[in-house]
Amino acid sequence: MSQSTDLARAQQRFARRQRLVRWKGWLPWAVGGLVVLLAGVTVWIFYFSSLLAVTGVRVTGIDTVPEATIVEAAGAPIGTPLAKVDLTAIADRVRTVPAVADAQVTRAWPHRVEIVVTERVPVVVVTDGKKFELVDATGVSFKSVPTRPDGLPEALVVGARRDVTIRSVVTVSAALPVALRAQVASISAASPDSITLNLGSGVKVVWGSSDDSARKAEVLSVLMKRQARTYDVSAPDLPVTKGEKK
């Protein structure tokens, strides 16, 4: 009886060892299968299911541009899995809005596209005598307004090569010291090479082109210590005054 019991126990231990060996052999396959299954489920959830689909757009950074304009331009694909959304394409479309200087687009999990907008900031108002255009520091005209806004220098730009002339005017305006810019009532430019500053006191500054604007501003600051009706710094190494008071 004792020998039979010992034999049965030995057989049980052998069977357990065999099962353990078989389990250890199958374990890597089981783990690998589970990993593949989890990866498949994850891919399905992120790229093919509606669980993480786009339901809306969040816009920040806007001040003057209506949110609806940004959302419409973005064309975010509502209902598309968020992971599949082409963020670069959305940013490019938003940048086509004239008043937008830049746009950054990210995913706001789990269901939104987030757009951070940088608006253009006007530095000068350009007119042809009929309408007024807001122009930013890069020389881009991005908005027409019916009346001249306060707080911006006005530039009368006429003639051919208007876009180039506007960029030149912006360069000149940016080079002016703050105190001098505050005295400028308007800027006249018939071409990129014939820019004139009209000061509020009736004094004119012949600037010429936008080349060497920083140097011209320095020369003008010194030259204006002498009272005159016209200051010509178009050739900064040979400045000229006219109507100078003795």
Q: How confident is the model at residue 158 (pLDDT cuts 50, 70, 90)?
A: confident
Determine the structural domain holding residue 143 and report its residue range.
122-242
Contact residues for 157 (Cβ-Cβ < 8 A; gap 6+):
126, 127, 128, 165, 166, 169, 189
Statement to judge: residues 101 and 145 lie in one domain: no
CATH of the domain at 154: 3.40.50.10960
φ, ψ dihedrals at 9, nearest 5°: -65, -40
Query: What CATH number has the domain bearing residue 94?
Result: 3.10.20.310
Question: Is 29 a residue whose pLDDT tops 70?
Answer: no
Residues 90 and 175 both lie in one domain: no
What is the pLDDT confidence band of residue 169, given thresholds at 50, 70 and 90? very high
Mean pLDDT, to the nearest integer, of 109-125? Answer: 94
Q: What is the pLDDT of residue 49?
A: 78
Q: Cα(71)–Cα(94) distance, rounded to whole angstroms?
A: 8
Phi/psi of residue 112, nearest 5 degrees: -125, 155
Same domain, 147 and 216: yes
Question: Model confidence at 10, in pLDDT bands (50, 70, 90)?
Answer: low
In the structure, what pLDDT confidence band is assigned to residue 17 with cuts at 50, 70 and 90? low
Token pair belonging to 154: 């006005």
Number of domains, the chain:
3
Q: Which of 119, 137, 162 lies at the terminal end of a domain, its last residue?
A: 119
The length of the chain is: 246
SS (H, E, C) 32-84: HHHHHHHHHHHHHHHHCCCCCECCEEEEECCCCCCHHHHHHHHCCCCCCEHHH
